[in-house]
Amino acid sequence: MAETTKHSPENKHGHGHDAADDHSGQVSFERGDVNVFQITAFGVGLLLSTIVVMFAMWAMFHFLMGQADKRDAAAPAAMMAEKPSLPPEPRLSGVREKSVGPVLPKVEMDELRADEDAILNNYGWLDPAKGTVRIPITQAIDMVAQKGLPTKTTPSGVDGGFRMIPSDASSGRTLEKISQ
């Protein structure tokens, strides 16, 4: 039950108390709004229900898996003998000779990176007949930085030294001339 507070004529804001009433002990809150026992019981019941449903679902899946195993017969040995050992070409990953050992993704990735690093960081022949060689990538970057990239030059005699660009207002439908 809510307890009432004193109303004084000096209280103009209508809050139901003034500064003197704050520490008087007459101001309280509604004690009947929240039942902590009921909220706790609901939470415990919800937790127990969740656990029961989880075990029921596990048991159901286990039962259905056993039914499927009984229904599906094992493949005959003759059918397994005809099964190809390797998938058809192109094989993307995991194909090695049996003497090397099993394929491990991390080992395969490390070998791939080592091969790529050897190609990128060492000299080698691409086509010995034509005399085409491969150079390390750092040297190739330095050579391009020194020489620069090739650019397309336009002859200055075309359109009187102007080039055409789309205007802002045309959305690219018409062009305007600007000097180079």
Is residue 173 a part of any domain in this protein? no
Compute the average pLDDT of residues 61-68: 91
Is residue 53 a part of any domain in this protein? yes
Is residue 120 a part of any domain in this protein? yes
> For 16-20, 22-26, 67-71, 165-169, which range has the lowest pLDDT when averaged over its residues?
16-20
Compute the average pLDDT of residues 152-171: 61
Whole-number Cα distances in Å, 169 to 17, 102, 175, 178, 179: 67, 65, 10, 15, 19
- pLDDT at residue 20, rounded to an integer: 47
Residues 178, 163 contacting (CB under 8 angstroms): yes
pTM: 0.33
Residues of the domain holding 139: 105-147
Is residue 75 a part of any domain in this protein? no
Is residue 76 a part of any domain in this protein? no
Is residue 172 a part of any domain in this protein? no
Position of tokens 């596990």? 58
Whole-number Cα distances in Å, 68 to 2, 79, 106, 151, 155: 64, 21, 36, 68, 78
Which of 68, 87, 117 is at the close of a domain? 68
Is residue 117 a part of any domain in this protein? yes
At 1-58, the pLDDT tens digits run 454 555 555 545 555 545 444 555 677 767 677 788 999 999 999 999 999 999 999 9
Say how many domains are in the chain: 2
Compute the average pLDDT of residues 71-84: 71
- pLDDT at residue 1, rounded to an integer: 47
Is residue 63 a part of any domain in this protein? yes
**Cα–Cα dist 141/147, whole Å:** 10
Banded model confidence at residue 123, pLDDT cuts 50, 70, 90:
very high
